[in-house]
């Protein structure tokens, strides 16, 4: 028999017995509904979280170290001792960005603020990055900037309390721009050596300088005193993190430098967690160090930590691998969190989909039953078709197709139900979220306002295959029974 | 010889407690004949017809049709044989989900063949079914149903036509109509083998096959 005849017989059967088809496919429908709904919701939520974390610049920052022992894990398998690091030079930084196209911005990090080790934090407590504001000038009329710079800076905490520090966090430019771009004023590209990006509320800068609106600062100039020089690490030399403060202090006296304010971050609405920061090119550091130590050249400016910024969070693993191949250690603080979140949702999906699978398995009995009834009801039809020359195979296929149709219908209705309920749930969530601004704050500044379920083609296709396979298996025995039926029964009138 | 039966026995039920429907039957049927199978109810007429039409298998013996032994044929060969013959039932056995023309076409479709559209139309016209070709089977009269069934049996251009009491459920007028159709088919050269209680067919038959208690005898109609 030709395929078109199978479908003709099947479609007529569907038209006359549609009620039964719908009832019999109910189990498959519930199963597919549960699987598609839970998977689409959890992938949707996960996708939203990943996107949120991705736009959360810090998720895409990768801290790069070179361990003396060549290991590529941050944690020392030995004991509570901090590992020894080898300082990386300018050439190393260039090499890293050349080898990995996924690292779209990279810069040395002088304070190792991201390391998470106690010794490192002690070191940053000494505030290697304290800048004193001298004055802010418009070029024509100078404003009397507050407060005055301290005269003879000392490297003690008491002195630091007196100086107004500008916070230059470990953000690489791309990272800072991405996380603040909604409130970014002025030039959006990386500032040149004599240019600077300032935040408005951070360090109470705007208020101290007497500005009401961030945009008033744009295009003006600011003079900064470099009070402290950072530790200078010689590229290729090993340093023990425990002793960093005693190593390689270089001579530095105050040096004033003038910057054009090319961009201002309007951070007035920022939550506590979404901290802001000013940004300047690291070359300004080197510049001031070279001024006071003329013997230094670019090659001497090493760093223990390099911060790279990834094109996307997804490329973290591949970037780590490239680094490991070059005996470098790549580390992302958010990696662990995201791995945990992913695992949680994957687990949740498996458990909830499991219920769907159970529903489908239970529906096998129903389908076998319905198909057995169908074979019984159509004994005469089977006999007639056989008397007209149909092969056993044809009869088998007619009934197999019929049970597969049950799977297809169950899948279709299940998917429709899942799409409707998934979109409904998302709509409810999004409505709740938009009416409750507090909720958004609760999400740790991730700024998740809404999510949408994700119905990927592989999920729908996978479920279709599952439904068809389950119903085909269920229909096998009744179809074989039908195929084997003796056609002689047609001769009996009743 | 078109059809040859040698020592054919057919029993139903278990080996220990068998119902013997046909016992050691020998029979020859010639090409172009119009054979009637006669006998009391329960004598085994339908059983014989089902063996000849390849719908059932013999318990022992041989059925040789066109030199091919049906008793040895596998399922696939049997299906092929059934597609080469035509068969008409007392209970019409049309497919209720298909309309008139589709039921006729099913005579070819069932065995994977494509029906000849011209022949379909010819049969519709010949049997007065053209105006009802898209009608639901349930809305047809008994006579119309049987004409559809005859058309279905003819659409594949069969070599033999088997009929099991084709007029058994029809009134006088329709009975006459069907009888005329079958007579014309026979005159055009088709071999017809028919089970019937209707003595009227004796006038148009060439051979009479009578079964009594499972035993068979053949004779010629006395006309
Ligand atoms: N599948 C079966 N199982 C058991 N016995 C059967 C079966 N088919 C037929 N028989 C028996 O075989 C005998 C012949 O039956 P068959 O149907 O051939 O009779 P028939 O001559 O066609 O009768 P009728 O004129 O009433 O149609 C009967 O006794 C019947 O009960
Ligand atoms: Mg009978």
**3-class DSSP assignment, residue A230:** coil
Q: Of the residues A327, A362, A390, which one is the last residue of a structural domain? A: A327
Q: What is the mean pLDDT of residues A345-350?
A: 86
CB-CB contact of B163 with B90 (8 Å): no
The CA A371 to ligand 1 mean position distance, Å, reads: 30
Q: Which of A391, A392, A488 sits opposite B50 (nearest CB)?
A: A488
CB-CB contact of A445 with A274 (8 Å): yes
Q: ipTM score here? A: 0.95
Q: Is the model's pLDDT at A210 over the cut of 80? A: no
- The overall average pLDDT reported for chain A is 77
- Alpha-carbon gap, residue A400 to A487, rounded angstroms: 19
Residue A62 placed within a domain: no
Q: Is the model's pLDDT at A490 over the cut of 80? A: no
CB distance B42 to ligand 1 below 6 Å:
yes
The CA A22 to ligand 2 mean position distance, Å, reads: 40
- Alpha-carbon gap, residue A176 to A178, rounded angstroms: 6
More confident residue, A13 or A151: A13
Strand partners, A135: A223
How high is the pLDDT of residue A69? 85
**Same domain, yes or no, for A94 and A129?**
yes
**Number of folded domains that form chain A:** 2
Give, as one character, the DSSP assignment of residue A31.
H
- pLDDT category, A220, cuts 50, 70, 90? confident
Q: Of the residues A327, A357, A376, which one is the last residue of a structural domain? A: A327
Q: Name the packing angle between helices A457-484 and A335-377 (round to 10°).
A: 20
**Same domain, yes or no, for A237 and A94?**
yes
- Closest to B49 (Cα-Cα) out of B25, B32, B14, B76: B25
| Complete DSSP assignment for A121-173 | HHHHHT-TT-EEEEEEE-SSSEE--SSPPPSS--SSHHHHHHS-PPP--S--H
- Closest to B168 (Cα-Cα) out of A111, A437, A494, A288: A494
Q: Which of A1, A12, A491 sits opposite B89 (nearest CB)?
A: A491
**Same domain, yes or no, for A446 and A379?**
yes
Quick one: what percent of chain A has pLDDT higher than 90?
28
Closest Cα in chain B, distance from residue A13 (Å)? 7
Predicted TM-score (pTM) of the model is: 0.70
- List, in order, residues 6 or more apart from A116 with CB less than 8 Å away: A333
Q: What angle do CA B74, B79, B85 make, to 5 degrees?
A: 125
pLDDT in tens, B189-211: 999 999 998 888 898 999 999 99
Cis peptide before A147 (omega within 30 of 0): yes
**Same domain, yes or no, for A24 and A128?**
no
The CA B50 to ligand 1 mean position distance, Å, reads: 11
**Same domain, yes or no, for A236 and A269?**
yes
Q: Interface of chain A against chain B, CB under 8 Å?
A: 1-2, 5, 8-9, 12-13, 15-16, 380-381, 383-392, 394, 486-488, 490-494
Whose Cα sits closest to atom 16 in ligand 1? B44
Q: Which of B56, B107, B152 sits opposite A486 (nearest CB)?
A: B56
Does A381 sit within 8 Å of B79, measured CB to CB?
A: no
- pLDDT category, A110, cuts 50, 70, 90? low
Residue of A nearest to B92 (CA): A493
**Same domain, yes or no, for A88 and A127?**
yes
Phi, psi of A320 (to 5 degrees): -60, -35
Q: What is the mean pLDDT of residues A111-123?
A: 28
How high is the pLDDT of residue A231? 62
**Same domain, yes or no, for A85 and A218?**
yes
How high is the pLDDT of residue A111? 47
How high is the pLDDT of residue A243? 56
Give, as one character, the DSSP assignment of residue A71.
-
- Alpha-carbon gap, residue A301 to A284, rounded angstroms: 12
Q: Give B95's contacts in chain A (Cβ within 8 Å).
A: 381, 384
Q: Of the residues A296, A327, A358, which one is the last residue of a structural domain? A: A327
Q: Which of A15, A381, A493 sits opposite B91 (nearest CB)?
A: A493
Residue A452 placed within a domain: yes
Atom of ligand 1 nearest to the CA of A488: 1
**Same domain, yes or no, for A206 and A114?**
yes
More confident residue, A193 or B25: B25
Q: What is the mean pLDDT of residues A327-354?
A: 82
Residue A61 placed within a domain: no
- Alpha-carbon gap, residue A293 to A280, rounded angstroms: 21
CB distance B13 to ligand 1 below 6 Å:
yes
Q: What is the mean pLDDT of residues A78-104?
A: 84
Most confident of A200-204, A339-343, A373-377: A373-377
Q: What is the 3-state secondary structure (H, E, C) of chain B?
A: CCEEEEEEEEEEECCCCEEEEEEEEEEEECCCCEEEEEECCCCCHHHHHHHHCCCCCCCEEEEEECCEEHHHCCHHHHHHHHHHCEEECCCCCCCCCCEHHHHHHHHHHCCCCCCCHHHHHHHHHHCCCHHHCCCEHHHCCHHHHHHHHHHHHHCCCCCEEEEECCCCCCCHHHHHHHHHHHHHHHHCCCEEEEECCCHHHHHCCCEEEEEECCEEEEECCCC
Residues of chain B with pLDDT under 70: 223
Residue A441 placed within a domain: yes
Residue A126 placed within a domain: yes
- pLDDT category, A346, cuts 50, 70, 90? confident
Residue A364 placed within a domain: yes
Strand partners, A307: A63, A107
Phi, psi of B24 (to 5 degrees): 45, 55
Quick one: A251 exposed, middle or buried, by C-beta within 10 A (0-12, 13-18, 19+)?
exposed
Q: Is the model's pLDDT at A428 over the cut of 50? A: yes
**Same domain, yes or no, for A262 and A361?**
no
How high is the pLDDT of residue A127? 33
How high is the pLDDT of residue A151? 38
- Closest to B198 (Cα-Cα) out of B162, B216, B172: B172
Q: What is the mean pLDDT of residues A114-122?
A: 25
Q: Name the packing angle between helices A379-387 and B75-84 (round to 10°).
A: 70
Closest Cα in chain B, distance from residue A1 (Å)? 4
Structure tokens at A461: 């296709």
How high is the pLDDT of residue A414? 95
- pLDDT category, A155, cuts 50, 70, 90? very low
Q: What is the mean pLDDT of residues A113-120?
A: 25
Residue A332 placed within a domain: no
How high is the pLDDT of residue A483? 93
Q: What is the mean pLDDT of residues A479-487?
A: 91
pLDDT in tens, B55-88: 999 999 999 998 899 988 999 999 999 999 999 9
Phi, psi of A186 (to 5 degrees): 90, -155
**Same domain, yes or no, for A38 and A86?**
no
- Closest to A284 (Cα-Cα) out of A264, A256, A250, A304: A256
**Same domain, yes or no, for A46 and A93?**
no
Q: Please give the sequence-ordered ranges of beta strands (E in DSSP) within A209-296, or none if there are none.
A: 221-226, 238-240, 255-265, 279-280
How high is the pLDDT of residue A132? 40
Structure tokens at A140: 């024509």
Residue of B nearest to A15 (CA): B97
pLDDT in tens, A269-279: 776 556 677 88
Residue A8 placed within a domain: yes
CB-CB contact of B155 with B105 (8 Å): yes
Q: Is the model's pLDDT at A119 over the cut of 60? A: no
- pLDDT category, A130, cuts 50, 70, 90? very low
- Alpha-carbon gap, residue B73 to B67, rounded angstroms: 12
- Closest to A391 (Cα-Cα) out of B111, B54, B85, B106: B111
Q: How many CA atoms lie within 13 A of A312 on its CB side?
A: 4
Interface of B with A in 191-220 (CB under 8 A): none
Ligand index nearest the alpha carbon of residue B47: 1
Domain range for A270 is 67-327
Residue of B nearest to A17 (CA): B97
**Same domain, yes or no, for A199 and A273?**
yes
């Amino acid at each position: 028999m030709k395929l078109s005849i199978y479908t003709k017989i099947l479609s007529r059967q569907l038209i006359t017995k549609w009620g039964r088809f719908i009832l019999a496919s109910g189990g498959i429908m519930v199963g597919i509904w549960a699987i598609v709904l839970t998977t689409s919701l959890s992938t949707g939520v996960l996708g939203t979280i990943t996107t949120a974390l991705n736009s959360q610049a810090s998720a895409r920052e990768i801290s790069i170290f070179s361990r003396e022992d060549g290991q590529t894990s941050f944690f020392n398998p030995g004991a509570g001792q901090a590992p020894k690091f080898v300082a990386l030079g300018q050439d190393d930084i260039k090499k890293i960005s050349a080898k990995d196209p996924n690292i779209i911005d990279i810069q040395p990090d002088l304070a190792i603020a991201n390391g998470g080790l106690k010794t490192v934090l002690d070191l940053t407590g000494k505030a290697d990055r304290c800048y004193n504001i001298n004055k802010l000038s418009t070029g024509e009329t100078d404003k009397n900037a507050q407060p005055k710079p301290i005269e003879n800076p000392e490297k003690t905490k008491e002195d630091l309390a007196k100086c107004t520090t500008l916070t230059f966090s470990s953000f690489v430019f791309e990272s800072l721009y991405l996380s603040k771009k909604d409130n970014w004023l002025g030039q959006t590209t990386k500032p040149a050596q004599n240019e600077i990006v300032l935040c408005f509320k951070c360090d109470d800068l705007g208020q101290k300088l007497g500005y009401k609106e961030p945009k008033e600062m744009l295009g003006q100039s600011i003079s900064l005193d470099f009070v402290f020089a950072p530790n200078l690490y010689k590229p290729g030399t090993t340093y023990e993190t425990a002793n960093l403060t005693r190593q390689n202090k270089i001579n530095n006296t105050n040096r004033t430098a003038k910057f054009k304010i090319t961009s201002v971050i309007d951070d007035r609405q920022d939550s506590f967690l979404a901290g802001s920061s000013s940004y300047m090119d690291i070359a300004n550091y080197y510049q001031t160090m070279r001024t006071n130590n003329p013997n230094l050249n670019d090659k001497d400016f090493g760093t223990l930590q390099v911060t790279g910024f990834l094109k996307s969070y997804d490329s973290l693993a591949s970037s780590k691998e490239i680094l490991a191949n070059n005996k470098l250690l790549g580390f992302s603080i958010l990696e662990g969190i995201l791995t945990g979140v992913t695992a949680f949702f994957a687990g949740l999906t498996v458990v909830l989909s499991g219920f769907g699978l159970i529903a489908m398995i239970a529906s096998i009995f129903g389908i076998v039953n319905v198909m057995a009834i169908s074979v019984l009801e159509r004994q005469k039809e089977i006999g007639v078709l056989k008397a007209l020359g149909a092969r056993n195979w044809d009869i088998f296929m007619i009934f197999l197709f019929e049970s597969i149709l049950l799977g297809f219908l169950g899948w279709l209705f299940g998917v429709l139900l899942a799409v409707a309920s998934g979109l409904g749930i998302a709509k409810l969530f999004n409505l709740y979220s938009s009416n409750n601004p507090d909720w958004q704050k609760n999400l740790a500044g991730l700024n998740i306002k809404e999510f949408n379920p994700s119905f990927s083609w592989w999920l729908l296709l996978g479920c279709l295959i599952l439904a068809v396979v389950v119903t085909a298996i269920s229909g096998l025995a009744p179809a074989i029974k039908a195929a084997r039926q003796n056609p002689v029964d047609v001769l009996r009138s009743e | 010889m078109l059809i040859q039966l040698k020592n054919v026995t057919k029993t139903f039920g278990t080996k220990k407690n068998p119902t013997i429907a046909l016992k050691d039957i020998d029979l020859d049927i010639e090409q172009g004949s119009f054979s009637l199978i006669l006998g009391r109810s329960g004598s085994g007429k339908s059983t014989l017809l089902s063996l000849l039409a390849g719908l059932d298998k013999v318990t022992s013996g041989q059925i040789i049709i066109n030199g091919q032994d049906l008793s040895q044929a596998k399922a696939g060969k049997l299906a092929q044989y059934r597609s080469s013959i035509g068969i008409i039932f007392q209970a019409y056995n049309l497919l209720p989900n298909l309309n008139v023309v589709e039921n006729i076409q099913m005579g070819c479709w069932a065995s994977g063949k494509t029906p000849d559209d011209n022949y379909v139309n010819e049969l519709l016209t010949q049997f007065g079914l053209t105006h009802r070709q898209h009608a639901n089977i349930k809305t047809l009269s008994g006579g119309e149903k049987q004409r559809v069934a005859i058309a279905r049996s003819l659409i594949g251009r069969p070599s033999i036509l088997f009929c099991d009491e084709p007029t058994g459920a029809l009134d006088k007028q329709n009975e006459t109509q069907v009888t005329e159709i079958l007579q014309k088919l026979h005159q055009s050269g088709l071999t017809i083998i028919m089970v019937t209680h209707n003595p009227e067919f004796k006038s148009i038959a060439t051979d009479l096959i009578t079964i009594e208690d499972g035993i068979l005898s053949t004779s010629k109609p006395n006309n």
